[in-house]
Structure 1
């Protein structure tokens, strides 16, 4: 059961692809994950002990249930129930992922760390392939058409990214590099860390750079708070190797595109993306004013698009560009703006309460000392950081946020940092 669930979570971290020769969204990998999550939940409920544990979990996590209720009642104001269901069922699946992670991994000490380490290797390798041989990768993997449109447009903008925002995995890689008793695992963790940092810069994605800075800051905070390094020599060697490798890569292959986007933007699209986000937040505030109590309905934001040109057309993949331009305004690219516009004061209030509840729980956990769950909580907040600048209504990113929160609140409150393998 644990392995099957983790396989589904791994597939969720990969870009959605067709697993049958059909272009229907029903036959995508992420649809398969949703079905699998529901089936596992139904199977687990046959066990009386699990039912009791699930009941206790629900009662001890009432802010989540309150948030779900606030999103549910927004259907009253929804013009398009189909759009409501499209977002609502993703939220239901996310919450199922939360509770299943909390119930399944209470006594699994090293399984989660090993799993995250494996995910980091797979996703980093996939992005390396995107950077080196993107056309070959697109021919080999049948990506979902909507996802492929975004990839084509991003490549034309010199943005080599699957938009999976894997920077949170850097924390796991660094902790494995510092704490594992296996030399091979420490070495692999160090190499993948350097590659992941380089990919964040070469992606020309400013949100990824922000996430990377957040990951490094969280790592430094964790390093001094946990004081988990007992071998100073090993610590010094790892830090020196990491810095040396990082500098060496950047000297040989400087990420000029990223630096130009940040310090000397030359294309109008570099400004347009920022203006788009600001205008979208303002537009969301207007929608909140028009329907203050329950909003315009969960998932119904696309019915009230702001008049704004997102990016200028590109020479390559114009058809993909046209479809992409229609999809982008479907979200204000800020989770607070979207929750407020779609579910009103009721939904936004419950969401803010939920976030503060998460923070309070995390602070209590951090005070207890050495615990890998502190690292996982930082990982979840790095994912949440991307919600402030990107869409958050799909399972591609949000599913992993809820997965990590579930692992954090599992029964076992002490997962050792030192791993033997």
Structure 2
């Protein structure tokens, strides 16, 4: 009992600013590829684990502070009742899918990520209530810095593949390093499949009034570099997401003066010309480009992957009807027809196919349908509609923090767009999803 009191007392005495910075560091670490920590050679002993611990500590502070101050973690008002039910709906319906899970261990692994996401939501709503402007600016900074870090890693992978893979083998978690090598063997660079949602965070510093000129220039250059990296990665889905994020960014025009709008338009023309030249260079060096992949020129690599996705989505319709709660989160692989096939594949292809199948159908709607059932799928559609109405109100408003809020709005919908092509199963996905919605709450 004394240990509990001393621990609680120690946590409560921590300055709120320090706790928020701890939370930010935790979020930053889970957004990055997992880097091995020294002393122990264990797969889970990495920076993602450290990030989890920091988020745990911040959440514990929020709970204890709310309990002893006799205040709610977040306030439910008449104008945000539907919003609260929307967030709770995602969490509760995912949780209930435990009743249909046949592999409890994989369910728990997926559920742990969901728990951390929800902890992120509760923590950020608490901190936002204390100083909204500072919280928005710091969260944007965290995603900005994480985006730079991942962008530079992938640029290095494109420019110096041999050095980068050796570096990854030494520094990164073994499974991640193997995945980087396997994808590189098929002509694709891989650090983060949802890197493109960093674009609004880069543009934020270009658009924000009062930002120093070097930071404005850095934001714009990073946005352009992101386009180059997306193109050169040869992931057609990623390039489509980047173009989607560029289109989403037109929303910023509502608050731009003519000079900045014209500058962005000129940058867009420069990007188009650059993509044309990069296409020619890639075809010369590799024999194909991301444009070729969009046109499905390679029967095996391009058309077969589309066929795989179509079959995976078809399976999701079947899995969704297995029970009221689908097959259970994390349990898609237990039901898929691709599972027995993987043992007959060559090692590299086996690694990629297993990674693809275990992470679900690579479409957020098909994933929700398969893992949580038809009822939850309909609820999820309604949840997104609630979020859409909320975000349209932000877009039409004249809020003092309009630019900050729109940056989060664009990043959130970019996250949803990205998971139309790639898995919505990672810890960084759940943290981003719930932290974004926590920021836009009320």
Query: What band does the TM-score fall into relative to the shorter chain?
Result: 0.7 to 0.9
In the alignment, which residue of structure 2 is the partner of 1:329? Answer: 357
364 and 29 in structure 1: CA distance in 2 versus 1, 3 angstrom threshold? same
139 and 233 in structure 1: CA distance in 2 versus 1, 3 angstrom threshold? same
In the alignment, which residue of structure 2 is the partner of 1:102? Answer: 125
RMSD: 2.7
In the alignment, which residue of structure 1 is the partner of 2:108? Answer: 85
State the aligned residue count.
401
Match of 2:154 among 112, 123, 127: 127
| Contact 2:25-2:54 within 8 A present in 1 as well | no
187 and 341 in structure 1: CA distance in 2 versus 1, 3 angstrom threshold? same
- Note the C-alpha offset of 1:341: 1.6
In the alignment, which residue of structure 2 is the partner of 1:52? Answer: 71
183 and 307 in structure 1: CA distance in 2 versus 1, 3 angstrom threshold? closer
Instruction: State the alpha-carbon separation in 2 of the partners of residues 362 and 50 from structure 1.
Output: 32
76 and 394 in structure 1: CA distance in 2 versus 1, 3 angstrom threshold? same
- Note the C-alpha offset of 1:153: 1.6
244 and 346 in structure 1: CA distance in 2 versus 1, 3 angstrom threshold? closer
Q: Secondary structure at the match of 1:125?
A: helix
Deviation readout 1:188-244 (Å, 9 max, x if unpaired): 112111111101100111111121111111111331xx2332xx3454345435633
In the alignment, which residue of structure 1 is the partner of 2:7? Answer: none
Instruction: State the alpha-carbon separation in 1 of the partners of residues 386 and 63 from structure 2.
Output: 27
Instruction: State the alpha-carbon separation in 2 of the partners of residues 264 and 11 from structure 1.
Output: 37
Deviation readout 1:330-385 (Å, 9 max, x if unpaired): 21111222222222133223322222221121122222135021221111111111
Q: Which aligned pairs between 1:22-421 and structure 2 lie closer than 5 A? A: 22-48=40-66, 52-56=71-75, 60=81, 61-105=84-128, 106-108=132-134, 110-141=137-168, 142-181=171-210, 182-223=212-253, 226-229=254-257, 232-237=258-263, 239-240=265-266, 243-244=269-270, 247-248=273-274, 250-251=276-277, 254-256=281-283, 257-263=289-295, 265-291=297-323, 293-307=324-338, 319-330=347-358, 331-369=360-398, 371-372=402-403, 373-409=405-441
Instruction: State the alpha-carbon separation in 2 of the partners of residues 297 and 114 from structure 1.
Output: 35
Instruction: State the alpha-carbon separation in 2 of the partners of residues 64 and 237 from structure 1.
Output: 38
In the alignment, which residue of structure 1 is the partner of 2:10? Answer: none
399 and 299 in structure 1: CA distance in 2 versus 1, 3 angstrom threshold? same
121 and 54 in structure 1: CA distance in 2 versus 1, 3 angstrom threshold? same
- Note the C-alpha offset of 1:23: 4.7
| Contact 1:74-1:342 within 8 A present in 2 as well | yes
In the superposition, the TM-score normalised over structure 2's length comes to 0.82
Instruction: State the alpha-carbon separation in 2 of the partners of residues 125 and 215 from structure 1.
Output: 19
Deviation readout 1:31-50 (Å, 9 max, x if unpaired): 22222212211122221377
Instruction: State the alpha-carbon separation in 2 of the partners of residues 153 and 295 from structure 1.
Output: 32
In the superposition, the TM-score normalised over structure 1's length comes to 0.86
236 and 23 in structure 1: CA distance in 2 versus 1, 3 angstrom threshold? same
| Contact 1:101-1:407 within 8 A present in 2 as well | yes
Instruction: State the alpha-carbon separation in 2 of the partners of residues 193 and 50 from structure 1.
Output: 44
Q: Secondary structure at the match of 2:321?
A: helix
246 and 114 in structure 1: CA distance in 2 versus 1, 3 angstrom threshold? farther
- Note the C-alpha offset of 1:118: 2.6
* Farther off after superposition, 149-158 or 276-285: 149-158
Q: Secondary structure at the match of 1:93?
A: helix
Instruction: State the alpha-carbon separation in 2 of the partners of residues 301 and 50 from structure 1.
Output: 43
* Farther off after superposition, 67-76 or 132-141: 132-141
* Farther off after superposition, 143-152 or 90-99: 143-152
Instruction: State the alpha-carbon separation in 2 of the partners of residues 214 and 326 from structure 1.
Output: 29
Unmatched tracts of structure 1, length 5 or more = 412-421
Instruction: State the alpha-carbon separation in 1 of the partners of residues 99 and 32 from structure 2.
Output: 34
297 and 234 in structure 1: CA distance in 2 versus 1, 3 angstrom threshold? closer
393 and 41 in structure 1: CA distance in 2 versus 1, 3 angstrom threshold? same
Instruction: State the alpha-carbon separation in 2 of the partners of residues 281 and 249 from structure 1.
Output: 32
Instruction: State the alpha-carbon separation in 2 of the partners of residues 323 and 115 from structure 1.
Output: 32
